[in-house]
Structure 1
Amino acid sequence: MTDRVALVTGAGQGVGRQVALHIAAHGGAVVVNDYHLDRAESVAAEITGQGGRAVGLRCDVTDLDAVTAMVAQGAERLGPIDVLVNNAGNAGPAENALDRTPPFWETGPKDWEPWIATNFYGVLHSCRAVLPGMVERGYGRVVSVISDAGRTGEPHLAVYGGAKAGAAGFSRGLAKAVGRHGITVNCVALSTINTPGVASVIADPEVARKALRSYVVRRFGEPTDAANAVLFLASDAASWVTGQTYPVNGGYAITP
């Protein structure tokens, strides 16, 4: 990743934070994005404190104009964006939203909008903002963090899973459109990762014990597990991998 500039959305904590740290540790400069500026700046400070290059910028990925402005600001501070990691997820800034979703038939468009806006439109907005520069320079890496809810379905996460599946389908089509420009587009599909967003759920020992029955590897994932896969796909080591979805899930779902 030496001399590459990466934009990681939703990088103020959890998986995004670890992805940013991984990229910086391998020589990349990082635009650390988060809805909360203090989180973004804190992670950027971690990176610069270790001798890396980073800047923390606030942006709501559901706003295309804001994303476009952030990309321009990041490029001005660190250089053109070579790598985009679409990590912003859940229902945007809502905390622990995944454990508070009522049945679909009790919801309406206002309930669906945050999930679709963040997990699908957020990916479209960020790609739209960085791709012109990538195409012009003939190089780029796009990695979107999706969910096994989008691969196998989850009964209480139907809209969230649909949005993540949409991001994966979009990524496959985009991969075919931009491959000739030296740009690869891939996804990493996660299951339960031990992050602040799910901490309240797995903090209950009985809930955690029951959940772990679904995992071949009898533990929940850690941010490092996800970041390792993202780093590979964002690097030149994966220059001949595109249009793929890599499950990082401890064997939660094993499908072709």
Structure 2
Amino acid sequence: MSEQDLLDMEGQVAIVTGAGQGAGRAIARELARHNVGGVAVNDYVAERAEAVAGEIRATGVPAMAVPFDVGDIAAVRAANQAIKDTLGTPTILVNNAGNAGPVDDIGFSAMFWEEDPSAWDKYFRTNMFGVMNCCHTFIPNMVEARRGRVVAIVSDAGRVGEARLAAYATAKAGAAGFVRAIAKESGRWNITCNAISLSTLEPPMPPEQLAEYVQTERAKAYVSRYVIRRYGKPEDVAGMATFLCSKAAAWITGQTYPVNGGYSFAI
């Protein structure tokens, strides 16, 4: 990109977790448009990670698939070494992996006090400990390089609360608090750490099926809670994530930015 690109990544190598589909895929593809040195695409499904890496390579940008579960710190560390060996040292980390990780999709549960405690683990493993595992592994690269970007995708469930999603909301709130703490620890090395708080993105359906779904009374009732009357799109997330990873956000750290169509407001 030209030197006029305010979103220039200055040749840094990026890793995006949970990037085999949805918002993660959009973030990885958007970063690739702004002078990254390469993009490591993570997903716990290897085929999805490789497909997105292939899309990025087709644009002329180096990319590789790194399939692993963010809840497995040994696997995260092995991926870090593999990225170094293939693309170079990663100094941009987007912690996008979420929901319930490789176990199953997120879903509304019973009231918290009626829920079996074993149901909590899957949310904390991915949304809290997964973020911690990745930061513990990749931030030393940034300290050594004396620059870096960390972005965590959290949720309005954690920022304002959501009934029957207590464990998920708590894990996401914990991740946002963790990001603020490491922002204070790492800022002296020109490392910024921020979070993006999402509400609901459009369901992952084929275009024709999605077009039918958004016209249903159920969907209309759901999006009526949003000032902008639609579900979020992966591209809505990608724009903010790319900004926070770029040189344009060099003096922004420790913040949580709602990207939520006006579902909730923040000061």
Instruction: Please state whether the residue corresponding to 1:98 is helix, strand or coil.
Output: coil
Alignment correspondent of 1:187: 195
The TM-score normalised by the length of structure 1 is 0.95
Alignment of 1:13-24 (within 5 A): 13-24=21-32
Instruction: Please state whether the residue corresponding to 2:120 is helix, strand or coil.
Output: helix
Alignment correspondent of 2:81: 72
Alignment correspondent of 2:92: 83
Alignment correspondent of 1:252: 263
Q: Tell me, yes or no, if structure 1 residue 5 matches structure 2 residue 5.
A: no
Are the counterparts in 2 of residues 92 and 115 from structure 1 also a CA contact under 8 Å?
A: yes
State the Cα distance separating 1:118 from its structure 2 match: 0.3
> Distance between the aligned counterparts of 1:171 and 1:24, measured in 2?
24
Alignment correspondent of 2:142: 134
Per-residue CA deviation, residues 139-159 of structure 1 (Å, 9 max, x unaligned), is: 110000000001000002111
> Distance between the aligned counterparts of 2:114 and 2:19, measured in 1?
32
The percent identity for this pair of structures is 48
> Distance between the aligned counterparts of 2:256 and 2:226, measured in 1?
19
Gaps of 5+ in 2: 1-8
Decide whether aligned partners of structure 1 residues 45 and 195 sit closer, same or farther in structure 2, where only a CA change above 3 A counts.
farther
State the Cα distance separating 1:99 from its structure 2 match: 3.0
> Distance between the aligned counterparts of 1:100 and 1:178, measured in 2?
36
Q: For this pair of structures, how many residues does the alignment match?
A: 253
Gaps of 5+ in 1: none
Q: Tell me, yes or no, if structure 1 residue 217 matches structure 2 residue 228.
A: yes
Q: Tell me, yes or no, if structure 1 residue 49 matches structure 2 residue 87.
A: no
State the Cα distance separating 1:110 from its structure 2 match: 1.4
Instruction: Please state whether the residue corresponding to 2:160 is helix, strand or coil.
Output: coil
Are the counterparts in 1 of residues 258 and 266 from structure 2 also a CA contact under 8 Å?
A: no
State the Cα distance separating 1:195 from its structure 2 match: 4.4
Q: Tell me, yes or no, if structure 1 residue 239 matches structure 2 residue 250.
A: yes
2:55 corresponds to which letter in structure 1? E
1:174 to 164, 182, 203: 182
> Distance between the aligned counterparts of 2:121 and 2:52, measured in 1?
29
Alignment correspondent of 1:92: 101
State the Cα distance separating 1:102 from its structure 2 match: 3.0
State the Cα distance separating 1:100 from its structure 2 match: 4.6
RMSD: 1.6
State the Cα distance separating 1:52 from its structure 2 match: 1.3
Decide whether aligned partners of structure 1 residues 19 and 191 sit closer, same or farther in structure 2, where only a CA change above 3 A counts.
same
Poorly superposed stretches of 4+, deviation over 3 Å: none
Instruction: Please state whether the residue corresponding to 1:55 is helix, strand or coil.
Output: strand
